[in-house]
Structures are given as structure tokens and as C-alpha cells.
Amino acid sequence: MSRQQTCDSMTFRLISNMERRLKCLVNDQNVSYV
């Protein structure tokens, strides 16, 4: 069970990192558009 939890936490971190990158990309696009 501990292995599954660590795997879930890793996936959550990956998703959160991807979301941050997407937000950064969107912010960059907004700034460039302005």
C-alpha cells in the first residue's frame, strides 16, 4: 500500500508541475498579446 501511495504522490507532483508550466505558458502568451 505504501508503494501505491508513493506512486500517487509522484503522479500528483507531475500533474501539479504540468499545471504550473501550462499556467506559465498562458501567462507568457497573455503578456505577449498585450
Give the amino acid at 12: F
pLDDT at 31: 63
Q: What is the pLDDT of residues 1-34, one digit of tens each?
A: 566 776 678 888 888 888 888 887 777 776 655 4
> What are the sequence ranges of the domains in the chain?
1-34
pLDDT at 7: 67
pLDDT at 32: 59
pLDDT at 33: 53
Closest CA to 6 of 14, 34, 21: 14
pLDDT at 10: 80
How far is the C-alpha of 9 from the C-alpha of 33, rounded, in Å? 36
pLDDT at 5: 72
pLDDT at 17: 87
